[in-house]
Amino acid sequence: MTQSERALRADAERNRRRLLDAAQELFRERGLDVGVAEIAQRAGVGRGTLFRNFPTKQDLIAAIVIERMNEATEYGRSLLDAPDAGEALFGFLEQIVGRQQLDRCLFDAVADTFLANQEIRAAHAEVVRGLDDLLTRAKESGAVRSDVGAMDVLMLVKGVCEAASALAASEPGIVGRQLDLVRAAISPSAADRPLRGRPPTLADVERAHPAPSARAAATVR
């Protein structure tokens, strides 16, 4: 690669970063109704540059969500060597919930259809795997009851995010309180009462949200 080619690539990467940062700022400030022209303006690039990077607004939203999921995965990996496995697990959950509260509109936008996007699907699977690794360590250390699975925990956390979102602005402590209840629910002391059924898996969730190709095949059959 020549020096001029490297410079062009670096410029393209900077423009993409500016677009992602500008979109994220505007979505947090005003929600997803912000127009692409305003996003491009805040990023300091033309609309053509925006559309070369993200052909649709949904592509831009998906890119931000994927980036957030990848950050969560990396954070989870960084906790795998933490001396206290229980605190590592709950620190990871705090990070997930905090990020979802901050970028609420983005996660709401893809909540029902996110697994239709193969890249989001793959990024989500990595988050689940990372959580499962942390959960396994926490179980082995005796910090968490042995009969819960990663999807059990994610479903509880999702419930916290959804239920607490309306009160979070006026009651800043509500999310932490609900997470404390999640912690109590999966603690070893709560295992005196066995759970009914089996723990859900990532495969269960993916079957409930089939990718477009799978839905099309099912329709043909």
Q: How many separate domains does the chain show? A: 2
Band the pLDDT of 20: cuts 50, 70, 90.
Answer: very high
pLDDT digits (tens, 9 = 90+) for 57-76: 989 999 999 999 999 999 99
Indicate whether 91 and 106 sit together in one domain.
yes
Picking from 52, 74, 57, 72, the residue whose alpha carbon sits closest to that of residue 22 is 57
Band the pLDDT of 202: cuts 50, 70, 90.
Answer: confident
Residue 215 reports pLDDT greater than 70? no
Residue 190 reports pLDDT greater than 90? no
Band the pLDDT of 112: cuts 50, 70, 90.
Answer: low
Query: What is the residue range of 207's domain?
Result: 60-220
- Torsion, CA 96, CA 101, CA 105, CA 108, rounded to 10: 50
What pLDDT does residue 170 have?
73
Indicate whether 9 and 111 sit together in one domain.
no
Indicate whether 207 and 140 sit together in one domain.
yes
CATH at 14: 1.10.10.60
Distance CA(137)–CA(152), nearest Å, equals: 16
Indicate whether 32 and 101 sit together in one domain.
no
Indicate whether 36 and 81 sit together in one domain.
no
Indicate whether 118 and 213 sit together in one domain.
yes
Indicate whether 92 and 199 sit together in one domain.
yes
pLDDT digits (tens, 9 = 90+) for 158-174: 887 777 676 766 777 77
Higher pLDDT, 119 or 5: 119
Indicate whether 13 and 100 sit together in one domain.
no
Residue 106 reports pLDDT greater than 90? no
Give the tokens for residue 8.
């062009």
The DSSP symbol for 170 reads T
CATH at 81: 1.10.357.10
Average pLDDT for 180-205: 82
pLDDT digits (tens, 9 = 90+) for 34-65: 999 999 999 999 999 999 999 999 899 999 99
